[in-house]
Amino acid sequence: SIVRRQPFPGRGLAIRMVGEVTKPRLEILQKADLVVRREVAAAGIEQDMWQWFAVLPGVQSVGVMGDQRTYQEAVVVRAVTSDDGMTADWARIPHDVLQRIASALVSEVAGVNRVLYDITSKPPGTIEWE
Report the C-alpha gap between 58 and 71 in whole angstroms. Answer: 12
Give the tens place of pLDDT for each residue, 42-94.
Answer: 999 999 999 999 999 999 999 998 899 999 999 999 999 999 999 999 999 99
Spell out the domain ranges in the chain.
13-118
In CATH terms, is domain 13-118 a member of 3.30.300.10?
Answer: yes
Report the C-alpha gap between 94 and 92 in whole angstroms. Answer: 6
Tell me: pLDDT of 118 over 80: yes
Confidence of residue 10 (pLDDT cuts 50, 70, 90): low
Q: How many residues does the chain have?
A: 130
Confidence of residue 111 (pLDDT cuts 50, 70, 90): very high
- Identity of the amino acid at 34: L
> Would you say 114 and 103 are in contact if contact means Cβ atoms under 8 Å apart?
no
Average pLDDT over the chain reads: 93
